[in-house]
Structure 1
Amino acid sequence: MSLTNFFQLFLIDKCKECSSVSCYVKYFKQNFESWTSGSVEIDKFIQSTQLLAHGDTQKALEWIPYDRFHNIKYFEKIGIYRANWIDGYISEWDSKNRNWIRFNKNMLVELKSLNNPKNITLEFMNEIKSNYKFYGITQDPLTENYMMVLINKCKKCNNVCNAIAILFKQNFENWTSTHNDIKRALEWIPYNKLNNTKYIAKGGFGKIYKANWIDGHISKWDDERLNWKREYPNKFVALKSLDSSRNITLEFMNEITQHHKINNYASIIKLYGISQDPKTQNYIMILDYAENGSLRKYLDMNYNIINWKNKIDYLYDIAFGLNHIHFHKLIHRDLHVGNILHRGSVCITDMRLCKPADYSESESTKNSVYGVLPYIAPEILQGQNYTKAADIYSFGIIMYELISGLPPYYNIGHDENLAIKICQGLRPRFNINVPQLIVHLIKRCLDANPLNRPKAIEICKILREWAHEFSKSSDSDQTELKKQIKEVEGSNNELFTSIRLGSLYKTHSEAIYTSRLLNFDNLPKPRNSDDYYKQNNNIISKEYLESLLNNIVDSQQTQRIDISPKINDSQQIDILLQIGDSQQIDISKFYKN
C-alpha cells in the first residue's frame, strides 16, 4: 500500500464529528439492522443515543433481549424487578474479535415496567427520555410490556457497587451497607461452619472460644460461579459468646453496630460476622484470632525480650486504633490492656461499652461506672460524662504498663480508697528510669484536667515520629529519644530488664483487672499532685505517692524489710517487686562485689 493510499484510508475512517479513527458510533451503526425492539419509536430513540456515543459508550443505550436476564425477582414494596444481566454493560470495541468488550457480567440491575401495553405510550417515551441514566430497554415476552434496564446505583456512595452491597442485598434481607469495600461486610455464619471449638477465657460480658472457620472469609464476588470467593479456609477465629443473648438486647446490637463502623481499620480487631450456639441459643461474634492473647498476657510472658522499638511500635498501634475510634465520633469507654490483643502487632477489641461522643448518661446511671478502676479517668469516677479525653487517660495508663511491665496498682486493693486517691492525684510510679520524653507524654495523658490531655491524633504523630527514628539504621543519627534511652539503659538495674516480670510480681487479692460495675459517691474534685509539673524523671514524686498510699497499702507491703545477705537473688527480686510502688530500696546492695 502506497503512503498516499494509507493516508486516504486514514482520512476515510476518521469520524467527521469527533475526528477520531476509533469512534464508537460507526460500530453502533453497523449493527442497526441486527436488532429491533418491535417499536419504531424505541428503535429510533436507542439509535439516537448510540449516534452520540463518539468516545463514550456510557452515552449509548442498547436493546437487551429479555433472555439475557436471569434470577428475575419482583419487589412489591418498591414496584421494581431485580435481575442479573448475563452480559454486563458495553465498555469499548474489541477490534480483534470485532465485538463489544463488556464489564460486570451477571451484574444486578433493576427492571422498571410502566405497565404499558404493547403499543408505546407518550408516558413511556417521556419517562425514558427524562430518565437517561440507564443501560437500555427490554421487553417482557409474557406481558409484552417494555421495561427500562436501570443502573442499580447505591444512593449513599453513588456507585454501581454490584459485587458488594447490592449482592448482599440480593442474597439476604438483613444486608450490611458495605458499598465498594468488601472488608466492611458482616455475614451470618452457621455454627456448623465452625470446627474444633475450644474455651479460652471468660471476659466481662461472656466467654471467649477459639475455633476453625471451615469456609474462611469473603474475598470477592465470582461472576462465573455466582458466589463469593473466600480466603484462608479453616482459619483460626475467636468466638465471643455473649451471656444471655438469646434475646437480642440493645447492648448486643450496640457492640456490633459500633464495631462495624471501625471494622476495616488497622489496629482494630476484625469482626467477620455473627453466629448462634444451637445449645445455649446465645449469639456469637466471630472475630480475628490473636494467637498471643491479651497484651497483659504477652507482657507477663515476654517482657524480658521486648525492646524499646517494640514498645514504641505497640503504643503507636494502640494510638492509631484509638484515633480511628475518635475520628468516627466514638468513645471506647473501656480501654485497658485486657482489651488490647497481641498478634505480632497489637489491636483494640471489645466495643460493648463504645458510645457516640455526644452520648449523655441518664441520671440513674450517672454515678455508676463500668470498667477497670486503674484505667478510669478521675473525672469519670466523680460522675462526669465520658469524653474522648477519658480514653486518652486510659491510654496513658497503658503507656505506663507497657513501659514498666507491671499492672497499675497491682499491689493494693481496687476499692473506693483507691478511687479517692486517684482523684487526689495518685498515679502509678515507675520503678525504673524512663526517658523524659516518654514520661512527659504519659503525664500529659494522665493530667487531672481533661482539657490538658493531648488528642489521639497528636499522640499518633508523636509516636509515629518516634517509631520512624527507630527505623533509621545509622547509629550516628542519634535523636533526643535515642540519647535518653541510652542514658536510662545504663542506669537501670538488670533486675528490671532481664527477668520475666509476669512470674514474679504478686497481685493483691483485691486488685481486679476485669470490667465491673463501680459506684462511688462524693469523691473529691480531681487534681494533680502538688509537684506534678515539676517532676521530670517520673510520673509523680516518691514523697507524694507515699503520702497518699500511707493509709491504703497493706501492712505487709509497708512494713520495714530487712534484706539479709543470706537471701538469694530470686527472693530479693520477689520482695522488691511485691513492694512495688510503695517504697524505694537501694538496690545497689543486691550486687555482690
Structure 2
Amino acid sequence: MDEIKLSDDVIEQIKDFFHDDLTEEQNSLIDKLISNEKLKERYKEYDLCHECNQINTGHDYCRSCKSKYFQQNFKNWTSGNHKVDEFIQKAQLEAEHYVKIIEWIEYDKFEDIEYLAKGGFSTTYKAIWKNGNIHSIKRNGQLRRTGEVKVALKCLHNSQEITADFLKEVESNILACDPTSSFVVCCFGITKDPKTNNFMMVMKLKECSLRQHLNINFNSLNWGNKISLLEDISHGLKDIHNSELIHHDFHCGNLLNDSGLAYVTDLGLCQPANVKSSQNDKKEIYGVLPYVDPEVLRGKEYTQESDIYGFGIIAYEICTGLPPYHDIPHDEFLAMKICNGLRPRSDYKIPQFIFDIINQCWDAVPSKRPKAVELYSLFIDLYGDYCRGDFTIWKQAKEADEINKKSLSSTVQPALSSTGALSYTTHPQAVYTSRLLDFKNLPEPKNAENNDDLFEKEYSESLRINFTNLDINSKVIHLLRHISISAPPLGP
C-alpha cells in the first residue's frame, strides 16, 4: 500500500522534536512542513519510526517496516487453506497497529480447552493460549509476545468449507477495533479444530456475558453504573458504524462484561458460516426477534438505524434488568404486535432523561433515531453530569429508585433469589439466540398511539419536566426535540 513519505529535508528538521510536547514555534514549523492534515495528526499522535524515520501508523508501529517481517515469515506457516492464508497475509501487510494484527495459530498452542456457550450459529470455548498475542516486534523481526493469555475460541458451525462470510466477520473485527480503547472485542487470529476441521476465531476472553452480569449484579447497580454500561456499548457501536459497518445482530447476547465494562462482539455473524452468496440474495432474516427492527422484520434492508433500534431494546433491558418479552412466546404474533408499536414494558421505573433517549432509539421511523456517535456523546455527558451530582438528573434517579422500592411486587421490583441474583421465569418459546425469522404479511411499522399505555405513566409531575429547561447540554435538548445534531469530534 502506497504511503505518503516525508522528504529527507523535513525529517532532518523534525527528528529531534518531542511529538507530544511541541513548542509553539515547533507546532508552527510542523504546520508549514506537513501539509497533509491526516499525516500531521498521525505525527502528533504516533511520532516518527525509529527504523525508517517516517511517521508511524500506530503507537510504536510503522506499517512499512513491520510488514516486511511478516512477509519474510509467510513461508514458515500455512493454515492448509489458500483463502485463509491469503486473508491473513493481506491483514498482516496492511495492519496499522498491533491490535490489527491477526495470525494463523496452530491448535496445539492452546491448553485447558473447555466448553463455554452455544449460540445460534457458533459454539464458544475458553482456553489458555500459551504464547499469547504479539505486543511488539524487534528490529531483527523477532516477535515479542504477552505470554500466557486467556482466550475464547469461537467455532462456527459447518465451517469446514470456509466462505467469505467467515472471513468477513474477522475483517469486521479488525476494522472496528480502536487501538487506543476498543469496546469491540478484538480478534487475535484464526485456528482450526483438527478433529472437526471447523475453523475458529481466537478472541480475547471476557469475564461473562452482559446478560449474566445483569442476572447476578442488577440489584447492586445504580443509575451511574447503568449509564456507564450504555456509554460503553454506544462507544463500541460508534466504532463499528464509523468503520462503515453494520452489526446486523445487535442484541444482549452479543455483549460481554469485564470488570464492570461492556463490550460488543459477534460482528455480523447472523447466519451459518457455510451459507452461499446465492442464498444471501434471498434476504433471509436472522436475529433475535425482540431486538430486530420492525422494518427488517418486513423484509427491508438492515441498516445502521436497525442497530440503533437494537440499542434501544438493550438499553431498556439494562435499565429494568429483565430480558425483553421474556414471559411470552417469540412468534409471529409478537412480530405483528411489534410492527403495531409494541415495545418492552415494565412497571420498573426509569429516569425520564434516560427513557426519552430509549424511546427515540426504538422509534418506528428509522430516520428519527439518533446516530451512534450522538448516543455516545450523550451518554458521556450524562455520565459526567451524574458523577458531578447534577440536580435534575439526581432528582429523577432518586425518585425512580423510591418508586421502585415502594413496591414489593415481583412485576415491579425484579425478584431476588436467595443468593441476591435476579429471579425470573422465561417462557419456553422465548428464544434469545439468533435464528431464521420468516414472517409473512406483517403490518406497516408504526409507533403506539398512546405511549402512556406502554411507558412510565406513574411518574410524578416533578419528573414530567420540560427538557428545554435542563442544563444537561445542548446535544441532549436537540436530540429530544428530534433534531439531528452534529456531535463534536470525540476521543478514542
| Length-normalised TM-score, structure 1 | 0.60
> Which residue, 50, 67, 72 being the options, matches 1:170?
72
- Correspondence for 1:184: 100
- Correspondence for 2:243: 328
Mapped partners of 1:53, 1:269: distance in 2 = 42
> Which residue, 324, 343, 348 being the options, matches 2:258?
343
Question: Which stretches of structure 1, 4 residues or longer, exceed 4 Å deviation after superposition?
Answer: 52-55, 151-155, 361-367, 500-503, 533-536
Structure 1 residues 433 and 160, CA gap change in structure 2 (3 angstroms): closer
Structure 1 residues 453 and 160, CA gap change in structure 2 (3 angstroms): closer
Structure 1 residues 238 and 536, CA gap change in structure 2 (3 angstroms): closer
Letter in 1 for 2:285: V
- Correspondence for 2:370: 454
Asked if structure 2 preserves the Cα contact closer than 8 Å seen for 1:425 and 1:526, the reply is yes
Mapped partners of 1:153, 1:492: distance in 2 = 56
Letter in 2 for 1:255: E
* Residues 380-419 of structure 1 mapped to structure 2, 5 A cutoff: 380-419=296-335
- Correspondence for 1:246: 160
Structure 1 residues 167 and 443, CA gap change in structure 2 (3 angstroms): same
> Which residue, 467, 481, 487 being the options, matches 2:393?
481
Deviations 1:548-587 (A, max 9, x none): xxxxxxxxxxxxxxxxxxxxxxxxxxxxxxxxxxxxxxxx
Asked if structure 2 preserves the Cα contact closer than 8 Å seen for 1:196 and 1:212, the reply is yes
> Which residue, 12, 29, 38 being the options, matches 1:56?
12
Structure 1 residues 521 and 171, CA gap change in structure 2 (3 angstroms): same
Structure 1 residues 364 and 522, CA gap change in structure 2 (3 angstroms): farther
* Residues 251-266 of structure 1 mapped to structure 2, 5 A cutoff: 251-264=165-178, 266=182
**Structure 1 position 347, deviation (Å):** 0.4
**Structure 1 position 58, deviation (Å):** 11
- Correspondence for 2:150: 236
Say which SS state the counterpart of residue 124 (structure 2) adopts: strand
Structure 1 residues 166 and 54, CA gap change in structure 2 (3 angstroms): closer
Mapped partners of 1:160, 1:300: distance in 2 = 44
Say which SS state the counterpart of residue 227 (structure 2) adopts: helix
* Residues 296-315 of structure 1 mapped to structure 2, 5 A cutoff: 296-315=211-230
Asked if structure 1 preserves the Cα contact closer than 8 Å seen for 2:56 and 2:62, the reply is yes
Mapped partners of 2:232, 2:152: distance in 1 = 20
**More strand by percentage:** 1
Deviations 1:64-109 (A, max 9, x none): xxxxxxxxxxxxxxxxxxxxxxxxxxxxxxxxxxxxxx953xx8xx
| Length-normalised TM-score, structure 2 | 0.72
State yes or no: 1:517 paired with 2:436.
yes
**Structure 1 position 180, deviation (Å):** 3.9
Say which SS state the counterpart of residue 161 (structure 2) adopts: coil
Mapped partners of 2:387, 2:14: distance in 1 = 49
Mapped partners of 2:386, 2:11: distance in 1 = 52
Say which SS state the counterpart of residue 370 (structure 1) adopts: strand
Structure 1 residues 352 and 461, CA gap change in structure 2 (3 angstroms): closer
Mapped partners of 2:392, 2:278: distance in 1 = 47
- Correspondence for 1:197: 113
Which structure has the bigger radius of gyration? Answer: 1
Asked if structure 2 preserves the Cα contact closer than 8 Å seen for 1:367 and 1:520, the reply is no
Letter in 1 for 2:432: Y
Mapped partners of 2:453, 2:368: distance in 1 = 16
- Correspondence for 2:63: 161
State yes or no: 1:319 paired with 2:238.
no
Asked if structure 1 preserves the Cα contact closer than 8 Å seen for 2:340 and 2:447, the reply is yes
Asked if structure 2 preserves the Cα contact closer than 8 Å seen for 1:275 and 1:285, the reply is yes
Asked if structure 2 preserves the Cα contact closer than 8 Å seen for 1:197 and 1:211, the reply is yes
Deviations 1:156-185 (A, max 9, x none): xxx963443232222227242444412211
- Identity fraction in percent: 39
Mapped partners of 1:536, 1:300: distance in 2 = 23
Asked if structure 2 preserves the Cα contact closer than 8 Å seen for 1:272 and 1:288, the reply is yes
* Residues 495-510 of structure 1 mapped to structure 2, 5 A cutoff: 495=408, 496=413, 499=416, 503-510=422-429
Asked if structure 2 preserves the Cα contact closer than 8 Å seen for 1:195 and 1:213, the reply is yes
> Which residue, 368, 388, 392 being the options, matches 2:284?
368
Say which SS state the counterpart of residue 330 (structure 1) adopts: coil
Give the number of aligned pairs. 387
* Residues 31-70 of structure 1 mapped to structure 2, 5 A cutoff: 56=12
Asked if structure 2 preserves the Cα contact closer than 8 Å seen for 1:263 and 1:269, the reply is yes
* Residues 8-19 of structure 1 mapped to structure 2, 5 A cutoff: none
Structure 1 residues 488 and 289, CA gap change in structure 2 (3 angstroms): same
Structure 1 residues 509 and 498, CA gap change in structure 2 (3 angstroms): closer
Mapped partners of 1:478, 1:314: distance in 2 = 19
**Structure 1 position 154, deviation (Å):** 11
* RMSD of aligned residue pairs (Cα, Å): 3.2
Structure 1 residues 488 and 503, CA gap change in structure 2 (3 angstroms): closer
Letter in 1 for 2:12: D
Q: Which runs of 5+ in 2 are unaligned?
A: 1-7, 16-48, 75-85, 272-276, 459-492
**Structure 1 position 257, deviation (Å):** 1.7
Letter in 2 for 1:516: R
Mapped partners of 2:96, 2:280: distance in 1 = 42
Asked if structure 2 preserves the Cα contact closer than 8 Å seen for 1:330 and 1:354, the reply is no
- Correspondence for 1:425: 341
Structure 1 residues 533 and 448, CA gap change in structure 2 (3 angstroms): farther
Letter in 2 for 1:399: A
State yes or no: 1:531 paired with 2:450.
yes
Deviations 1:27-75 (A, max 9, x none): xxxxxxxxxxxxxxxxxxxxxxxxx98993999xxxxxxxxxxxxxxxx
**Structure 1 position 250, deviation (Å):** 2.1
**Structure 1 position 447, deviation (Å):** 0.6
